[in-house]
Structure 1
């Protein structure tokens, strides 16, 4: 699985096209793709960037990251825009269909070249397109989620920063999955060090009790700048979620039956936390979704605003919230998780 930050490429006019394609190609080369696979990635990047110019007035962004821990297993490319959107996505996926007089092969070509593909679009609400291409089929099978859960994230550094101050982990455990979101204080390298150390402690402790995990993390990162963080332990078979958070990490557990906000305690991991912290329990079902985010995402958003979004890939869910609710003045992390199909 992957916990890397996305590289963000703004595409606001045609002058960005060549630079964006070249930079994505460089990233793909560094991930170890063969020449044949690089050709596919170049077509996907070209089509996505061209669509942002052709179909929107203000362009959009392309988010790119490596898939896999250590050695790259593949590449994830996400296009986001706030353009006119599509009334009939399935029709626009057909070759030869275009609203701007082009050959109309873009979305169809992207889908054919991708190991994993998804698209979400609503009229007047913009579009998110997801493409994942793996080095090998074996790499694809290794990167399909955690036990019964599929957990993905969009994570982007503040504009102008080399390091992202946010970090996340998702760990498979006997009865489910443990997810952590962390946000180092401030921005840049020191914030990055604090958040990455926090999630590393979670990995080392293998604690499945969220409050207990946060107490351990608090002790272990005292020499860093400090961070805020939250841990959710999802037990699918038992039908429950345990949650505990310190600081301004937001989130919700959503299903067809319930809509619960996740409330964290005041404090800073590594500096000061309450003497007593408890786990909060929520129900979990096959229709449930968990969403966690740093304060780079605005706090007021409603998932119900997006019809059928819950049916889509978790990366698309996270990208839609990023597209519409990012503050643009901070690092941002949005994690989405749901039951596998």
Structure 2
């Protein structure tokens, strides 16, 4: 099974012009460290600058989340997610045109961001706008390689607690044909010791991602005994059925969402590595358009999806919107969204 894991986003407030340069420099440095050539790194710089300029000039409480994500070809993409709290874009079609500018920005417009991005999506409402841009290195080897077809799309937002340099949450997703497995682990507390526990759970998962949830959690329970322990949730999805098996211990929240369904998924009390009863997985039937949301307790649990139209968007847009609207702001916060691809 192809396993992806581990991104943590760095958070950049964008409320004044001087902050754009730091975002641009760090985005370019991350691109260069990820194998981007000068041309591709320059495109990352343009996208970072345009997103930052738009936030400074048009938005309230603008932020950009920066990370690198696996591209399915054995290489990296640079991911930038622009998040704000309004007032929204009045005319999205006009804003997407190259050269569109209302207050003297670079004149490139969001159309240029879309054109330069391998993956692009945007959702806007009066509550705010969320924009996803992923760029990859345009080398011949990468461009000519075929990505493995996947049945599910994944979006993750992972932010360390304020004042911490590492995130105490960790996650992983494995896919093989029409099957997918997802893990989210939240180490007790935050900081490096919490990260050690959560990463130990990911290492177990990566070694046996197709194993039965009970077997996986038993293995994690043994592996995490030398750590402070973690809350852990596991999900295994199969399109044959289609069905979901969900299990775990601790306060990871899982939800199934669609236009007609909003179901909270059950886990048991306990802490993996410290005290955990025998795991009892729960099985659910998946609708054609049902998506899975898993998040750590850095988000409030009593949330609702404010705009049902979000269900049509990329999982990263959904994850970032949920983080924006429901984060507690005092702990690590990770949101993982798994969505069935159409067709």
For the criterion TM > 0.5, the same-fold answer is yes
Report the CA distance shift for 1:183/1:142 in structure 2 as closer, same or farther (over 3 A): farther
Q: Does residue 313 of the first structure (1) align with residue 314 of the second (2)?
A: yes
Which range moves more in the overlay, 88-97 or 21-30? 88-97
Which range moves more in the overlay, 63-72 or 163-172? 63-72
Q: CA RMSD in A?
A: 2.3
Give the structure 1 partner of residue 157 of structure 2.
154
The 8 Å contact of residues 144 and 150 in structure 1, kept in 2 or not, is answered as no
Which range moves more in the overlay, 93-102 or 183-192? 93-102
The 8 Å contact of residues 74 and 134 in structure 1, kept in 2 or not, is answered as yes
Q: Which ranges in structure 1 are unaligned for 5 or more consecutive residues? A: none
For the residue of structure 2 that corresponds to 1:151, the secondary structure is strand
The 8 Å contact of residues 83 and 127 in structure 1, kept in 2 or not, is answered as yes
Pick aligned residue for 1:253 from 245, 251, 256: 256
Give the structure 1 partner of residue 64 of structure 2.
62
Query: Residue 323 of structure 1: CA displacement?
Result: 1.1
The 8 Å contact of residues 208 and 216 in structure 2, kept in 1 or not, is answered as yes
Query: Residue 12 of structure 1: CA displacement?
Result: 2.0
Aligned runs of 1:1-341 on 2, under 5 Å?
A: 1-58=4-61, 60-68=62-70, 72-100=75-103, 102=105, 105-123=108-126, 125-136=127-138, 139=142, 147-173=150-176, 175-274=178-277, 276-303=278-305, 305-341=306-342
- TM, length-normalised to structure 1: 0.92
The 8 Å contact of residues 151 and 178 in structure 2, kept in 1 or not, is answered as no
Task: State the alpha-carbon separation in 1 of the partners of residues 22 and 101 from structure 2.
Answer: 25
Query: How many pairs does the alignment contain?
Result: 337
- TM, length-normalised to structure 2: 0.91
Query: Residue 96 of structure 1: CA displacement?
Result: 4.6
The 8 Å contact of residues 53 and 105 in structure 2, kept in 1 or not, is answered as no
Task: State the alpha-carbon separation in 1 of the partners of residues 205 and 110 from structure 2.
Answer: 40
Provide Cα deviations, 1:159-185, integer angstroms capped at 9, x if missing partner. 221111100011124651010100011
The 8 Å contact of residues 229 and 249 in structure 1, kept in 2 or not, is answered as yes
For the residue of structure 1 that corresponds to 2:225, the secondary structure is coil
